[in-house]
Amino acid sequence: MAKVHVYSAKGEKTQKTVDLPVQFSERSRPDVIKRAVLASQNNRRQGYGPDPEAGQRTSAKYKGTRKGWGHSYSYGRARLPRLLIKKGGRRAGQTKIVPQSVGGRAVHAPIPYRNFSNDINIKERRLAIRSAITATADIDAVIARGHRLSDKAVLPFVVEADSEKISKTQEFIALLEKLGLAEELERGKEKTRRAGKGKMRGRPYKKKKSVLFIYSDSEPKGATGIPGIDSVSVKKLSAELLAPGGVPGRVTVWSEGAIEKLKEEGLYTNGKR
């Protein structure tokens, strides 16, 4: 297996090396990654729409007969459900329920109880994660995704386990800058104003996905709050975190403990998870 150098918690290159586990040798499968990401997104999606009884809470009805009070025959008006108001006379009934009436139901409204969930086979999900893990070590895939790396960058980035104890944001930023990710941090701050109705729904800006830090035991407090940066336990990886939007090649920093746990427990292979 390939060997990579381990960086210290301060970003300095050490003499220590680590063997990459078998999860880094999976062949590229962008199609499976895309399917796993879409399944993850659909499983979070919630149905929306009007109240199922909207426009139906009324006593209006259509009286389809020529006899009795309240019928519509021979009066020159549409045969629609109307409020039968005796006090106002036969012609005082307002139209209700139908879409063309004031306060009526919506036409072809979205279904609020619709189920958007999408199942995916567990072996297929593991394959997607392994394939996305391999892409984090492919510098061509990382650059093609738009990440900005230094010319001397060698992927994947593996740092010592002490990096999980970093509690200050500035110290974590200094670590990433030492790894040659200063431009990538600036890229993570970029945001663009969204086009469309999303601006009215609490998400006016689109933000970049930057560095993903993978730890083994405890999340470093210094990694939280930095724009574009995510941190996740090695046991909770997903194709969406490793390949946001279904595009593999996210720039990733691995903790040495995460690599060891990936190797020892055989995570995301056919026999685990």
Confidence grade of residue 93 (pLDDT, cut at 50, 70, 90): confident
Q: Which of 222, 230, 217 is nearest to 188 (CA)?
A: 230
How far is 148 from 192, CA to CA, in rounded Å? 18
Determine the pLDDT at residue 74: 78
The answer to the question of residue 104 being in a domain is yes
Q: Are residues 75 and 154 in the same domain?
A: no
The pLDDT value recorded for residue 271 is: 65
Do 248 and 146 have their domain in common?
Answer: yes
The answer to whether residue 270 is domain-embedded is: no
Q: What are phi and psi of 29, to 5 degrees?
A: -135, 75
pLDDT band at 83 (very low <50, low <70, confident <90, very high): confident
Note whether residue 269 is domain-resident: no
Percent of the chain with pLDDT over 90: 78
Last residue in a domain, options 115, 130, 152: 115
Please state whether 224 falls in left (phi above 0), alpha (psi between -120 and 50) or beta: beta
Statement to judge: residues 93 and 192 lie in one domain: no
Domain check: are 99 and 214 in the same one?
A: no
pLDDT of residue 272: 54
Residues 41 and 94 reside in one and the same domain: no
Give pLDDT, residue 63. 82
- pLDDT tens, position by position, 115-124: 999 999 999 9
Sequence-distant (≥ 6) Cβ neighbours of residue 31 within 8 angstroms: none
Q: Quick one: 182 and 258 in the same domain?
A: yes
| CA–CA dist 271, 47 (Å, integer) | 35
Q: Is the pLDDT of residue 261 over 60?
A: yes
Q: Are strands 230-233 and 212-215 parallel, antiparallel or unpaired?
A: parallel
Residue 69 and residue 171 in one domain: no
Q: How far apart are CA 111 and CA 45, in angstroms?
A: 13
* 31 lies in some domain: yes
- pTM for this entry: 0.85
Q: Indicate the number of domains in the chain.
A: 2
Tokens describing residue 72: 């519509």
Q: Which CATH number belongs to the domain containing residue 33 in this structure? A: 3.40.1370.10
Rounded mean pLDDT of the chain?
92
**pLDDT at res. 78:** 86
Report yes or no on 86 lying in a domain: yes
Same domain, 111 and 127: no
Domain end, chosen from 88, 115, 142, is at 115
Q: In this structure, is residue 271 part of a structural domain? A: no
79 and 125 share one domain: no
Domain of residue 196: give its range.
Answer: 3-45+116-264
For residue 178, is it within any domain? yes
Instruction: Compare 60 and 175 and report the one with higher pLDDT.
Output: 175
Are 134 and 158 in a shared domain? Answer: yes
- pLDDT at 75 (0 to 100): 76
Q: Reply yes or no on whether the pLDDT at 58 is more than 70.
A: yes
Residues 80 and 111 in one domain: yes
Higher pLDDT, 217 or 30: 30
Q: Would you state the pLDDT for residue 86?
A: 67
- Residues pairing with 19 in the sheet: 3
In a domain, 22, yes or no: yes
The pLDDT of 1-17, averaged and rounded, is 91
Q: Which of 115, 140, 156 is the last residue of a domain?
A: 115
* Interval 184-209: pLDDT, tens: 999 999 999 999 999 998 999 999 99
